[in-house]
Each structure stands twice: as C-alpha cells, then as structure tokens.
C-alpha cells in the first residue's frame, strides 16, 4: 500500500490514532445526470448525449475487484436503459441496487443525486466508497481506497497533485485557455493541502491550489448526510464539493494521492465519441481511457485516428453557423456529422464476447439553432429534441411531447463570462427548482438542464410569438383593445394563482416577462429567477423594472404591520399585475420617473390617471389592485371570481384549495375584502363588501375581522408600553425636582 493512503500519526496531529477500518464493503455511484458534450466548443450546434453504460460497468467491475460487496447506483436520465444494460452483466457476489431519482438532477455532484440514496445506508457509521459516474479509474486506485485507514469522523478524498495536472488546471494552462475565457468556468474541483495529510480547502474557484479532485471519496453516511443537510438549510442548492469543504473547515477531511496510477475525468470521458473535442483534452488520454474501458467492455472498437482540434475546426463551425440561420439538421454535415462507430446498437450488430449487446455510445440529444435573444451572461437560441431515446423527454406526457415537437428554447449560460459564477449558478438552480414545481399552461416549462464544461443549457418550451412589450409597441397608441387585454390578463392571473397555491411568488411580473404565441391569443409567464416564497422579507428592488415593483418592494415598508416591515405575500404580485394591466389598457405606466426617489414618492401617493377609453369595470379592477397597503388589495381568488373576467373563458378552472399561508401575527397575506357587490367608486375608493346593505354572515364577518382585531390589540399594547415609558420618565424628573427643592430649602 502506498504511504499516501495512510493518515497522519497521532503524535503529529494530536487526534485519535488512525483506525484500520477493514475493507470498505459498500459503494455509491451517483449517476442521475447524463454525460453530455457539445459537438463543438467554438460554435455548438448539437448537444450529444454520451452513454454512461460502459463507464458504469467498468466502475462496477473495479468495485467488485476492490472487494465491495454492495453498490448503490442512483439513476435519472435514461434510467431504464442503464439499469437494463447493467443487469445483463455479472458482478460475482457483489449486489447492485438502483435508486430512481424523481427530481431533475443534471450534475453528479449535486446534493440531490447523493441524498436520494440516503435510505440505502442505514448504518450511519459504516463507511462507503463514493465514486463519480463520469470518471474512469485504474482498478488498483479503488482497491487502495477500499483498504485505507481512517480515523473516526474523518473523510478521505482522492487527489492528483502531479505537476502536470496542476499546471493543466492553473491559469494559463490548457484547461483555462480552452474554457475559462477571462473568467472562471468552475468545472474543476481544486484542493489546497493542509498540515500532514489534511485538506485545508476544496472548492472550484481557488486561485492557489496544490492538487485537483480525482472524483473518488471514502465517507461515512452520518458525516456526509449531516453536512449536506446543514448546507441545504441555508440554500436549496449545494454540492458534494461544498459538503467536503465544510468537513475540511472542521479538520475532518484527509487526502490520498493517485501516485502514478491512471484516472480520467469527465472531460476525457465526454470526448470519447466525438471527433471534435475540447483542446484541453490530450489525445493520448482518450486512447488510454478507451483501452481501460475495453478491459470490461471488449466490444468497444478502437478509436480511429482523430485530428487534434485546432483553429480550423472553429473556423469551420463559424462558417457553418454564418451560412444559415435555420436549425441545424439532425445529422449535421461536414466534420460535425462524423460519429464514432464504437459498436453501437444498430450499426453492425457487434456483440461482446459474452453475447451482451452494447448501447449506442453517443446520440444527438438536442439541436441548437439561431439566436432568439441575448443577455449579459447568456443567450437564448432555438432548439429541438434530437433522436435520443430514454432521456428526460421520453417520459413526458403527450401534451408535453407535442410542445417539444413545436420546438424548444435553449438558454445558454456561459460560465466563464460571469465573474460571480456562484451567484449565477445558484440563480439557475433556483429558477429550475421553482419551475419544476409549477406545471401550468400559462407558465413556461423547463424540459431539461444540461451542463457541460463551460456552459449550462436550460431547455425550455418555446413560445413563438412576441413579448407583450413588443406586441404593445406594434399598436399606434401602445395599448390593446379591452377584450384582448382581459384575455391576456386572465392568462397571467391563472399562472399566478397556480404559483401561489404551490407556494411561490413571481415578484417580477411585467410585460417583458409575458410572451405570446403567434396568434397573440395565449400568454405565458416567463423569467422566474426572482421568485420568492411567501413570508420572506422584501429586499430593495434592485433587479428588473422598479416601475412595476410594489411599494413594499421599493421601500421594504408596509403600513399593514406594527413594526412597518412587511413580509412578501401574494399581494406583491397583485400590485405588479395591476401595473401590467394598466399599461395594456392605457398605453403608459401609472407611475414613472428616471429618479428612484421621485418614483417612490409617486408610488406611495397612488395618484394616477386612467385613460378615458377604459370602462368603469376595468378602472375599478385597476384601483382594487393598486392599493398602497397589501391587505387592501384584491386577492387572486377575488380577481378570478369577477363576472366580467369569468365571461372571457380565459381563466383556468379553480384548483383544489390549499391551506392559506399566514403572514406576520397570523394575518392572512391576501386581502380580506371582495370586489363582488361593488356599487360605485367614490373619492374614498372602492367600497368594502362588508359595508353593502344586506344580511350579514356573522361567522364570516368575525373571521374577516380577526386580523383587524389582532392588529388593534397589538397597537393597544404598543401604545400602553409607550405611555408607561413616558410616565416613568416624567415621574423620575418630578422626583428629582422635589428632591432638589427640598435640599435647597434645607
């Protein structure tokens, strides 16, 4: 055994002495995400799915040779296909178990891929070997890890500290020259060594480091799952790297080096089936990786002589892209059309020596077309699904499949273009998380998320029509007919009702985030990156368009609460929806100023002028939404019940009711008054339904008055405390005055 696989002695560390674990008997392979690569890094026209089957089979055979008795594999993309192929192989006495991940997980290091298997490791103190499913290892490496020595509570990470690999990953090295693009792509996990064999730091964005993470670990379930759980209490997004860094900060992460043994990372594995690959990958690595795979999958054919990618490939890609703005064909021409024949199914019927057929090693997953729009760190291009089977799209409903056939929109986020990579990555994860929970015809749908070395691709349904802002500008007065405006309003209203009932607020409703179909009779609410959950404190509205922000977003203040601070609630979206509807029917903003302070004063004054062409019903609708106090605004359900909106037949049928979310002090964040029963609009605004003559339901009235009574009690308590403080202050002054006069008299 190499000395690099031994922990420090107790005399050097002051810790408990290393305890021989005995051979590690169990392992985990998180394989929920598919291995994906673009057909060209210079100008991608296809996203190619690389089959994980040969790699997983190789890892399973290596784990069997290392003495592992039980291996758990988490599956997501192409789960049935991978499980079927793995079951065709024999791994001796080693038992292989599968866990199907229900949620979308596009990266192996994400917490969801690992936590999905938590119930499979009930013995929390029994360590297991965790191996990344897009890595290839010399079998001796995994054997050494399975027989390492580890102190109680510690974890172990396999690293490569060779000078060649450190220079390759350093600024100016081959990897950074190929992918970082004056930024930081964050594709490589780097390690800084500490005292002895301790890890000081392990992260993606390290400027100074001693080694890179090789993708294999020895951990105990208790320590790993507790670290992930702690991170998930702070954010919905975390990775294995962050959990390991938390252990390193506590002095519980050790390292072992690969020495001279071979291992290959995700970039090399993803490059195997493509003739044009990243210039950061050494061609010799690809050949060695394939030879290693063939030890367990002998049916894989040898790689043909492939040209090293160079400037001519980028030039060819640029020329091909500029010559046509249409979608690239399913089988691209020229150098992009060459695909390796690695014994794929349907090619020549090649079988391995044991009679097991091999799956196709690569297949088109998505086609990329012309640019639709662009932003600071991302672009949106047209797209469509390729011929890949068994992927995330294969399990969609018929309605979803029809959407895919109509086309896709692919949001490409370039990692190296953003200095604040962590913020961008967390923002992407949050938006995807929100849209995973929302399934509605008026909400844009995320179909898939693909991550490659230098970019993240968010695959969404494509809505072919214009944005609402663009559609409004096509009219001379920049406003819509009332019937058309009501239909679009109802579509956005239905989307918000669905989101609110699922626990999310959009917080950025505006015409720019409403996209129409070609006929401009169907609206979809997009851009959920600023979505929040009810109960969060409002932040200063620094993103988006402040002219559409609610008063509590602009100021963080609300007159509804005793303290003046208001938590976000459904009324926040109601205000923005009211401003959006005002723009649709009037052709201009109700409140506008280039100066932020002036804009805030205009919003707080709630003074605006409705166009003469707006009918009385729509004017009342606008006023019911543009109320200064959130509690005074109409609720989403009240808006959906308005007869003239129901008559449009544009509202979705109501969903099953959910328990209401309570705001501060138990008050409902949704307004408690109704638009039904309004008889007139006077100087004081719309009249509350409780004030309309008629029989009163005392139980309902009491329920509606409870928040007001509770608020009154808090105000009374606050006033009493203030009065007591003033009385105590005056009493103290009076006592001092009397004492002074008495002393003067003496």
Residue 296 pLDDT grade (very low, low, confident, very high; cuts 50, 70, 90): confident
Over residues 20-41, mean pLDDT: 83
Between 56-70, 314-328, 449-463, the lowest mean confidence (pLDDT) is in 314-328
Which of 514, 467, 463 shows the shortest CA–CA distance to 491?
Answer: 514
- At residue 378, the pLDDT reads 76
- At residue 93, the pLDDT reads 92
* Cβ–Cβ under 8 Å, residues 300 and 293: yes
- At residue 184, the pLDDT reads 66
Angle between helices 53-65 and 139-146 (to 10 degrees): 50
pLDDT higher than threshold 70 for residue 473: yes
Residue 627 pLDDT grade (very low, low, confident, very high; cuts 50, 70, 90): very high
pLDDT higher than threshold 90 for residue 70: yes
- At residue 658, the pLDDT reads 46
- At residue 456, the pLDDT reads 85
- At residue 359, the pLDDT reads 45
* Spacing of C-alpha 263 from chain mean position: 30
Residue 680 pLDDT grade (very low, low, confident, very high; cuts 50, 70, 90): very low
Residue 280 pLDDT grade (very low, low, confident, very high; cuts 50, 70, 90): confident
CATH T-level assignment (fold) for domain 468-694:
Transferase(Phosphotransferase); domain 1 (1.10.510)
State both tokens at 363.
């297949």
Which residue would you say has higher pLDDT here, 593 or 181? Answer: 593
| Class of residue 319 by CB neighbours under 10 A (exposed 0-12, middle 13-18, buried 19+) | exposed
> pLDDT tens-digit profile of 245-266?
999 999 999 999 998 899 999 8
- At residue 731, the pLDDT reads 75
- At residue 171, the pLDDT reads 84
Per domain, the residue ranges of the chain are 327-461, 468-694, 697-746
Between 419-423, 490-494, 527-531, 699-703, the lowest mean confidence (pLDDT) is in 699-703
pTM of the model: 0.72
* Cβ–Cβ under 8 Å, residues 465 and 516: yes
Q: In what order do the strands lie in the sheet with 378-385?
A: 35-38, 46-50, 362-374, 378-385, 408-414, 455-461, 446-451
- At residue 715, the pLDDT reads 78
- At residue 108, the pLDDT reads 58
Helix (H, G, I), strand (E, B) or coil at 727: helix
CATH T-level assignment (fold) for domain 327-461:
Phosphorylase Kinase; domain 1 (3.30.200)
- At residue 320, the pLDDT reads 35
pLDDT higher than threshold 90 for residue 64: yes
Between 143-147, 547-551, 694-698, the lowest mean confidence (pLDDT) is in 694-698
- At residue 182, the pLDDT reads 58
Helix (H, G, I), strand (E, B) or coil at 662: coil
User: What percent of the chain has pLDDT above 90?
Assistant: 35
Beta bridge partners of 460: 409, 446
* Cβ–Cβ under 8 Å, residues 569 and 670: yes
pLDDT higher than threshold 90 for residue 162: yes
Which residue would you say has higher pLDDT here, 670 or 600? Answer: 600
Residue 679 pLDDT grade (very low, low, confident, very high; cuts 50, 70, 90): very low
CA-based R_g, the chain, Å: 31
Which distant-in-sequence residues (6+ apart) come within 8 Å of 281 by Cβ?
267, 268, 271
E-only strand ranges, 11-135: 19-20, 26-31, 35-38, 46-50, 70-75, 95-100, 128-131
Over residues 317-340, mean pLDDT: 31
Residue 163 pLDDT grade (very low, low, confident, very high; cuts 50, 70, 90): very high
- φ, ψ of residue 695 in degrees (nearest 5): -65, 145
- At residue 150, the pLDDT reads 83
Over residues 315-324, mean pLDDT: 37
> pLDDT tens-digit profile of 499-547?
999 999 998 999 999 999 999 999 999 988 888 888 776 554 445 578 9
Q: Which helix (H) or strand (E) holds 215?
A: strand 211-219
Over residues 641-659, mean pLDDT: 76
- At residue 701, the pLDDT reads 42
Residue 737 pLDDT grade (very low, low, confident, very high; cuts 50, 70, 90): low
- At residue 324, the pLDDT reads 32
- At residue 56, the pLDDT reads 94
State both tokens at 60.
């399973």
Over residues 356-380, mean pLDDT: 72
- At residue 559, the pLDDT reads 58
Which distant-in-sequence residues (6+ apart) come within 8 Å of 146 by Cβ?
23, 24, 63, 66, 67, 68, 129, 218
CA atoms within 13 A on the CB side of 90: 4
Residue 452 pLDDT grade (very low, low, confident, very high; cuts 50, 70, 90): confident
- At residue 625, the pLDDT reads 95
Report the mean per-residue pLDDT for the chain: 76
Over residues 591-613, mean pLDDT: 90
Residue 72 pLDDT grade (very low, low, confident, very high; cuts 50, 70, 90): very high
Which residue would you say has higher pLDDT here, 77 or 21? Answer: 77
pLDDT higher than threshold 60 for residue 717: yes
Which residue would you say has higher pLDDT here, 678 or 218? Answer: 218
Between 176-185, 201-210, 320-329, 569-578, the lowest mean confidence (pLDDT) is in 320-329
Over residues 344-373, mean pLDDT: 56
């Amino acid at each position: 055994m190499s000395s690099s696989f031994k922990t420090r002695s107790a005399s050097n560390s002051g810790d408990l002495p290393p305890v021989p674990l005995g051979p590690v008997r169990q392992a985990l392979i998180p394989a929920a995400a598919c291995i994906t690569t673009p057909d060209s890094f210079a100008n991608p026209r296809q996203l190619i799915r690389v089959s994980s089957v040969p790699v997983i089979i190789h890892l399973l055979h290596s784990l069997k040779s290392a003495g592992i008795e039980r291996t758990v594999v988490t599956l997501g993309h192409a789960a049935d296909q991978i499980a079927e192929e793995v079951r065709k192989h024999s791994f001796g006495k080693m038992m292989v178990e599968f866990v199907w991940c229900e949620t979308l997980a596009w990266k192996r290091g994400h917490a969801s891929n690992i936590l999905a298997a938590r119930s499979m490791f009930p013995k929390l103190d029994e360590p297991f070997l965790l191996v990344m499913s897009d890595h290839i290892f010399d079998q001796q490496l995994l054997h050494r890890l399975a027989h390492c020595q580890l102190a109680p509570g510690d974890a172990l990470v396999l690293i490569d500290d060779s000078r060649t690999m450190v220079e390759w990953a350093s600024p100016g090295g081959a990897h950074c020259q190929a992918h970082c693009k004056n930024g930081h792509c964050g594709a490589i996990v780097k390690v800084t060594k500490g005292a002895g064999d301790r890890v000081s730091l392990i992260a993606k964005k390290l400027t100074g480091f001693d080694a890179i993470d090789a993708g294999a670990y020895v951990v105990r379930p208790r320590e790993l799952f507790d670290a992930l759980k702690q991170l998930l209490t702070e954010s919905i997004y975390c990775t294995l790297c962050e959990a390991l860094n938390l252990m390193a900060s506590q002095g519980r992460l050790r390292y072992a080096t690969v020495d001279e043994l071979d291992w290959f990372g995700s970039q090399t594995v993803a490059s195997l089936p493509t003739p044009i690959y990243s210039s950061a990958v050494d061609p010799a690595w690809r050949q060695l990786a394939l030879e290693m795979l063939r030890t367990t999958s002998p049916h894989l054919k040898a790689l043909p002589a492939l040209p090293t990618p160079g400037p001519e490939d980028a030039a060819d890609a640029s020329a091909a892209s500029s010559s046509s703005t249409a979608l690239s064909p399913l089988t691209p021409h020229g150098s992009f059309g060459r695909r390796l024949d690695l014994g794929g199914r349907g090619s020549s019927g090649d079988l391995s020596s044991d009679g097991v057929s091999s799956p196709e090693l690569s297949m088109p997953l998505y086609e990329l077309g012309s640019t639709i729009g662009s932003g600071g760190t991302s672009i949106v291009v047209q797209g469509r699904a390729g011929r890949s089977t068994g992927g995330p799209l294969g399990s969609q409903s018929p309605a979803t499949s029809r959407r895919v056939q109509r086309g896709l929109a692919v949001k490409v986020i370039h990692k190296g273009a953003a200095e604040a990579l962590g913020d961008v990555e967390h923002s992407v994860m949050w938006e995807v998380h929100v849209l995973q929970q929302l399934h509605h015809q008026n909400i844009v749908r995320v179909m898939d998320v693909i991550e490659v070395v230098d970019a993240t691709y968010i695959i969404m349904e494509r809505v072919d029509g214009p944005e609402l802002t663009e559609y409004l500008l096509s009219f001379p007065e920049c406003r819509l007919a009332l019937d058309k405006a009501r239909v679009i309003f109802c579509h956005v209203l239905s989307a918000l009702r669905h989101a609110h009932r699922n626990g999310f607020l959009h917080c950025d409703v505006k015409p720019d985030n409403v996209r129409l179909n070609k006929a401009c009779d169907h609206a979809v609410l997009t851009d959920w990156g600023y979505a929040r959950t009810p109960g969060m404190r409002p932040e200063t509205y620094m993103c988006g368009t402040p002219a559409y922000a609610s008063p509590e977003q602009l100021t963080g203040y609300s007159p509804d609460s005793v303290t003046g601070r208001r938590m976000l609630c459904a009324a926040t979206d109601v205000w923005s929806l009211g401003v959006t509807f005002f723009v649709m029917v009037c052709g201009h903003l109700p409140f506008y100023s280039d100066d932020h302070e002036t804009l805030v004063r205009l919003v707080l004054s709630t003074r605006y002028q409705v166009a003469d062409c707006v009918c009385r019903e729509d004017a009342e609708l606008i006023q019911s939404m543009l109320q200064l106090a959130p509690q005074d605004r109409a609720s989403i359900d009240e808006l959906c019940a308005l007869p003239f909106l129901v008559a449009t037949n544009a509202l979705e049928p109501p969903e099953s009711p959910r328990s209401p979310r309570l705001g501060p002090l138990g008050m409902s964040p949704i307004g408690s008054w109704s638009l039904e029963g309004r008889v007139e609009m006077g100087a004081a605004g719309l009249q509350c339904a409780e004030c309309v003559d008629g029989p009163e339901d005392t139980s309902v009235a009491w329920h509606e008055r409870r928040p007001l009574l509770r608020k009154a009690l808090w105000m009374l308590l606050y006033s009493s405390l203030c009065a007591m403080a003033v009385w105590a202050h005056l009493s103290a002054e009076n006592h001092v005055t009397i004492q002074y006069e008495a002393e003067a008299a003496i």
